[in-house]
Amino acid sequence: MVENRTALVTGANRGLGRSTALALAARGVDVVVTHRGDAEGAEETARQVRAAGAASAVLRLDISDVSSFTDFVDQLGGLLEHWGGASGLDVVVNNAGVGVFGPLEAVTLDDFHTVFDTNVRGTFFLIQSLVPLLAQGASIINVSSSLTRHTSPATSVYSASKAAVEALSRTLAAELGTRGIRVNSIAPGPTATDFNGGAMRDDAQMRQGLAEQTALGRVGEPEEIGDAIATLASDGLRWATAQRLEVSGGVFL
């Protein structure tokens, strides 16, 4: 078990964020949980983290609102000081994001801005804001999507935003490597969460269709993504940076 490490997981009030927080907690990592408005969900995640034996706290963060980052970092810095032993953030998981889906003719300018302002602009400037709090040798993991490798109808804007996240990850790995900071992206495939209205979780026909196109014969479970992220953040992969790890069960090979 890894002791005295601290992680920030954005959008950890549900889904992949919650699974990631719990996977990190199981490895002895204390977790700061963020949410955009679902305080109840975030507190439930924090409760489960504490039940797993790690410390946890909840902060509100809307990554589409870059102007709020200065106050957020001040709050986070004060929290880390209050926690005592934390020398800074050891792990940052940029999980929070949005998906707006539709064919070319249906996508509006507001749709485009919503996706890119959150998934790309927000992720980039949050990392920039967090740099002073990052511990030597920290690990940043940006959540992408298997859709950057394969195509699916009505996903052009979302897929493009995640491809941008992967490009940012590679470049920032070079920039931050002098401090021993690793930057990687992780690309989940179809997973049974409430993302996109819970389609992958609740639509049996969709699940079956995807299962037939997946080497391992099913859609993923959120715990499997959380475990992969926690593993990528661990010292076991301390020599991996600027990498894209797809965790999709071999979808659309």
Please state, in angstroms and rounded to a whole number, the distance separating the CA atoms of residues 151 and 128: 31
- Sheet of 134-143: strand order equals 56-60, 29-35, 5-9, 89-94, 134-143, 182-188, 244-247
Q: Are 119 and 161 in contact (CB under 8 A)?
A: yes
- The whole-angstrom separation of Cα 161 and Cα 163 is 5
Q: How many C-beta neighbours within 10 Å does residue 100 have? A: 20
* 3-state secondary structure at position 157: helix
Annotation marks residue 11 as catalytic: no
CA dist., res. 89 & res. 155, Å (int):
33
Q: What region does 250 belong to: left with phi over 0, alpha with psi -120 to 50, or beta?
A: left
* Greatest distance between any 2 Cα atoms in the chain: 53
Token code pair at residue 54 = 């790690």
Give residue for tokens 């493009």. 160
Sequence length of the chain is 253
Catalytic residue, candidates 158, 166, 172, 201? 158
Separation between Cα atoms, residue 120 and residue 166, nearest integer Å: 10
Catalytic residue ranges: 158
